[in-house]
Structure 1
């Protein structure tokens, strides 16, 4: 793929920098990213799906999870890797958020492809990722059996994570919206 077919962006957050590259991949999109902890406290990155997906073998432990898809007005779609709240009523096996830890001064890389649109391919796509402060009281059951070590995190992160989103990516031109 020519370098010109890849749209790149850097998104700064509180104590974190997200470097991301989006490109078209068939009828879908390819997202490759690097998350750098630029702050003084450890962070959690909620890009590893949920425990229910691992237990039901829809996802390997430690792998990047399949993002949630939200169809937005105007032919837009948002892909979400975020901690989600506990559903009501709670299921027997709850979708406990999985995250990887990023210590101060370190970085992590990831990537995924997505083409599971609910209807026609959207006109524009963006990707959002949730980042939370790593609180030992809210993290449990570390699992290092997969690609990377992941932690289960409490559902409260759904309310207090910071969510970093890319600009809108135009699926026709392969560029970010100006």
Structure 2
């Protein structure tokens, strides 16, 4: 009996309490971002990690897009030309996503090519990064819910605009640290595909099935 107690004490000193170890693992799991896989209509997939802190109303998203098609894919997650010219973002930076409530409590963050706004003095020129067949695109952004401070958020999701690349829709490529960036023509919104993650449940801190 004494030998067994000595053995248990030695294990405790060497590795700590098994119960405590399980508790620490559970805490780490709660602090980890939720993960989901978003399928693109353009024959690609996006692995998405999302974390939302309701106390400061900030969402953090990191993603990894894999082009599984035999054609290049244009991804509309980059800052537009106006943001770059004004010095508000760098060439090739991930854009600040547009925010909108689709339903009460449901907040959507979206990167896409935007429709032209009539009579705008300086028209917006969307920019896209092109992902070659078999290549991987990594990106991340951190954003707050500006203008929505008094509206509760129950669920949120991220949406992304993509399309098969063609040189009729894009022009004037420029090289950046993030890859080759192309300017999009005003026809891009008509042919892009919008894909969205499942809804992230704020209370559960996880994506819905």
Kindly provide the CA deviation profile for residues 138-171 of structure 1, in whole angstroms up to 9, marking residues without a partner as x: 2112222444331111121211111110111122
Aligned to 2:76: 46
CA contact (8 A) 1:16 1:37 kept: yes
Query: Does structure 1 residue 103 correspond to structure 2 residue 132?
Result: yes
Alignment partner for residue 153 of structure 1, among 184, 188, 191? 184
Q: 1:169 to 1:117 in 2, by over 3 A?
A: farther
Structure with max Cα Rg: 2
Instruction: Give the TM-score, by structure 1 length.
Output: 0.91
Query: Does structure 1 residue 114 correspond to structure 2 residue 140?
Result: no
More strand by share: 1
CA contact (8 A) 1:63 1:148 kept: no
Q: State the shift of 1:17 in Å.
A: 0.7
Question: Which stretch of the first structure deviates more once superposed, 19-28 or 56-65?
Answer: 19-28
Q: State the shift of 1:85 in Å.
A: 1.1
Alignment partner for residue 84 of structure 1, among 111, 114, 120? 114
Aligned to 1:24: 52
Misfit runs of 4+, over 4 Å = none
Aligned to 1:13: 40
- Which fold has the larger relative contact order, with Cα–Cα distance below 8 Å and residues 6 or more apart in sequence? 1
User: How many residues are treated as equivalent by the alignment?
Assistant: 177
Q: State the shift of 1:80 in Å.
A: 0.8
Q: 1:151 to 1:3 in 2, by over 3 A?
A: farther
Q: State the shift of 1:43 in Å.
A: 0.7
Alignment partner for residue 72 of structure 1, among 86, 102, 105? 102
C-alpha RMSD over aligned residues: 1.7
Question: Which stretch of the first structure deviates more once superposed, 100-109 or 132-141?
Answer: 132-141
CA contact (8 A) 1:60 1:146 kept: no
Kindly provide the CA deviation profile for residues 76-95 of structure 1, in whole angstroms up to 9, marking residues without a partner as x: 11111001111112x23211
> Gapped runs of 5+ residues in structure 2?
1-26
Q: 1:156 to 1:2 in 2, by over 3 A?
A: farther
